[in-house]
C-alpha cells in the first residue's frame, strides 16, 4: 500500500509519497498541478506532520524511514547531504570529498539535482564554492526561502 500527503508550505504545495514502508519522494507541486488521488497512509502523514513542524521552525532533524531510488553514487551523495546540519551550508566540492570522489563535483551536482526526497534530504543546503546559490530542482526562489527559514530558526 502506498500513500500521498499534500501540505501547504511557504514554498508552495508539497507532496510526500510513501511506498507503504518508507518515504520515497517529496516533491513540489506546480500551481496548477493536480493533486494525486492516492490517499495518505501512516508514513506519508508522518512525513507531512514533520514537514509542518520543519516549516514552523520546530523541527531540525527529520526522523523518517527513507527509501530514495537511485544509483549507488547517488545514494552516497544523498547520505552525505543528510550530514549537513540544519542551518548550515556546504559546497558541491565538500560533498564530493565526503563521498571519496574529490574530482566528481559535477556528478555530485547532478546527484543533488536528482534527489527525489526534497527538503528531508537537504539538497537545498548545497551552494557554490563562491557562496552563491546555484542550481536547485525546486528553483532558486524556493532554495532561498528554505535557507532563510533555517537561518531564522537557529
Catalytic positions, written as ranges: 123
CA-wise closest residue to 50 among 23, 70, 89: 23
Helix (H), strand (E), coil (C) string for the chain: CCEEEEEEECCEEEEEEECCCCEEEEEECCCCCCCCCCCCCHHHHHHHHHHHHHHCCCCCCCCCCECCCCCHHHHHHHHHHCCCCCCCCEEHHHHHHHCCCCCCHHHHHHHHHCCCECCCCCHHHEECCCCCCCCCCCCHHHHHHHHHHHHHHC
Amino acid at each position: 500500500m502506498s500513500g500521498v500527503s499534500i501540505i501547504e508550505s511557504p514554498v508552495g504545495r508539497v507532496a510526500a509519497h510513501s511506498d507503504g514502508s518508507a518515504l520515497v519522494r517529496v516533491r513540489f507541486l506546480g500551481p496548477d498541478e493536480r493533486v494525486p488521488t492516492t490517499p495518505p497512509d501512516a508514513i506519508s502523514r508522518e512525513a507531512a506532520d514533520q514537514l509542518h513542524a520543519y516549516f514552523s521552525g520546530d523541527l531540525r532533524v527529520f526522523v523518517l524511514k527513507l527509501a530514495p531510488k537511485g544509483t549507488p553514487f547517488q545514494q552516497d551523495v544523498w547520505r552525505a547531504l543528510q550530514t549537513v546540519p540544519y542551518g548550515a551550508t556546504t559546497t558541491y566540492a565538500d560533498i564530493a570529498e565526503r563521498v571519496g570522489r574529490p574530482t566528481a563535483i559535477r556528478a555530485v551536482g547532478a546527484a543533488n539535482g536528482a534527489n527525489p526526497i526534497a527538503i528531508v534530504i537537504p539538497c537545498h543546503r548545497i551552494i557554490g564554492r563562491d557562496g552563491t546559490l546555484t542550481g536547485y530542482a525546486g528553483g532558486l526562489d524556493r532554495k532561498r526561502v528554505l535557507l532563510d527559514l533555517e537561518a531564522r530558526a537557529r
